[in-house]
Structure 1
Amino acid sequence: MEVPGLLADIEAMVTCESPSEDRAAVARSAEVVAGIGHRLLGAWPDRIVLDGRTHLRWKFGDAPTRVLLLGHHDTVWPIGSLVSHPYENKGLILRGPGCFDMKAGVAQALHAVAGLPDRAGVTILITGDEELGSPTSRELIETEAAGCAGALVLEASADGGALKTSRKGVSLYRVRVVGRASHAGLEPEAGVNSTVELAHQVLAVRALADPALGTTVEPTRAKAGTTTNTVPAAGEFDVDVRVRTLAEQDRVDRAMRALSPVLPDARVEVEGGPNRPPLEESASAELFARAVKVAARLDLPSPARASVGGASDGNFTAGIGTPTLDGLGAVGGGAHADSEHVVVTELPHRVALVAGLTAELLAVDSPAGR
């Protein structure tokens, strides 16, 4: 792998803006990624368009997939971000919208597989809606990951280049409260105040958190009422839940669905639920140990491990029982922020690590390696 070529591919991806909500922009980005992959791999990907969102899949060999390399080419950055955050490479650091999360990782995946002497059993899946919670690609991801020896997720690394060996699961809820309107000055007693009911429910939801277990339950956006002189008839608030274990995700879900009104004649309705299962340490332990051995054999820096609160598509692969190692993408920082950047000198190390780990998994799982 030549670093200048890898850098040129990252630049081509970053300078093709691809905000998740803009289907046309994501389609343009998919064509850029497909073209780079075709040049490197000698094959065009399957273009899978679901609800207007473009996902790319390369499958090698006739046998079932044994190693899945997983990433996404959509970003959180709106069209026009290149004006205020232009792509730049100053030698040690490169910058640009989506470079760290995670277009550098996409380029690394393609270059890693391009360097394999035998790609049979490898699938590369690059989705186009991860930043939205993967509403159209989840089933595709789980189907491709089923039965694999390992899912290698090219999301950006944790601080200092650490691999992500666990991620919290995510649940998302909307709690609606229904009361009864009345004039706030003339007959407030005739109403059922949804703002007051909402306050009771916010406190009840917040109490479901368990800091000792790493469970966070955060009421976020909230609204209620219509005018300043009307007892509000309706209100709602959103809830973001992060958990380390399935048991905690289930506990919080049961409690959310059991919420009941405090005020007479009020009603409480709960929508939503688990969005991504947790990626628990048990799902990544074996792959992380292999990564450490591969790094030593290739004379690469030994990777550290990290547990993070954010979720990725690796949560889905782990959730169906596929061994999963995340954070194999770029080293850098500032995901979703003005400071987003990639450490250039680490790029070839990560490509070599992913290639070495992929080759080892293929060899171990081949008939000759059993």
Structure 2
Amino acid sequence: MEPIYLDHAATTPLHPDVLEVMQPYYKEFFGNPSSIHSFGRAAKTAINGSRDFIAGKLGCLPNELIFTSGGTESNNMAIYGLLQTNTEKKHIITTRIEHHAVLHPCEWLENLGIDVTYIPVDQSGLVLADDIESAIRPDTALISMMFGNNEVGTLQPVEEVGRIAQAHGIAFHVDAVQALGKVDFDLAALPVDLMSFSAHKINGPKGIGALYISRAKRVAPVFYGGSQERKRRPGTENVAGIVGFAKAVEIIFSSDIEHRSHQLRQKMVDCLQQELGKDGFILNGHQTKCLPHIVNISFPGVGTESLLMNLDLEGIAAASGSACTSGSLEISHVLKAMDLPDDVTSSAIRFSFGMGNTMEQIEYAAQKTATIVNRLRKR
């Protein structure tokens, strides 16, 4: 069988239709969008049209959407930019299971005298809205929380926390990098002030993302140098990337990827139960409040690194969801925050599904996984 890619939460393959619409903006329409001649106007028109389209799908106004280089920049801009407009408030609330693109900026701000409260989660990876409300102080400037966790898939109570933030007059940022196209939401109705997105998670190009900023909120630029993006994000725009992002949004919003991913996820679990039995593995994360395309599974008695290497030798790409440092895997900070036993955290694998995956691939991957697990356990 051809290699099987089950790491769509890390990145997704570029959809051929996305590549097709991008190519003209590397060739014929290569102008700088800030130029006033026809070459520049053509590029600017493409950006405006893409922004209008994406904003329409998200339920926001076009001028509330800023294009960035990806989810990391969007998260940094939301956090740093918001605090720069409200310097008298020096407290942030976030959670222990955030992506490092949120945790590391918060840690850096602590070095600058900002207080950060890291809210714990339960053993399913779920944040309790009451815990967030209890952490609010008079000087709280921002609450930052992800929509759905990138490692275990647990969906967070975004609307409930948003209502709490709204009632207290606190800005609310949501990292929706994994949720875009996988979870239904409407920014016109959702009580969220800032939301981060990335194209390469939805079969779009790498190097392009977006940050939604409600017109009711002001966010300062993180860096300076030009008047692009309404003076909020300087630098010549990535026109081809923006056009590709819009096409990826069009494709994923017109597909049944959410339903299809649910089916693939369930197929993986069912096949593993057939091969290993219900006691042969442990599902991590909330099993109903979850992203459809992510399943995190522990195989006690089998090391994560050994299992990943053996899967790779079989042509199956999966992930640990953990940081790789000096060639060795570290235990996931998300699983640590969930306070799971050591044999669970040290044997966890993340399978994530997307376009191109078939039921046959999932069945094959589950069978190979079970074979490897049984072999390693016998050692």
Give the number of the structure whose residues are more often strand, by fraction. 1
Q: TM-score scaled to structure 1, two decimals?
A: 0.24
Q: TM-score scaled to structure 2, two decimals?
A: 0.24
Greater radius of gyration (CA) = 1
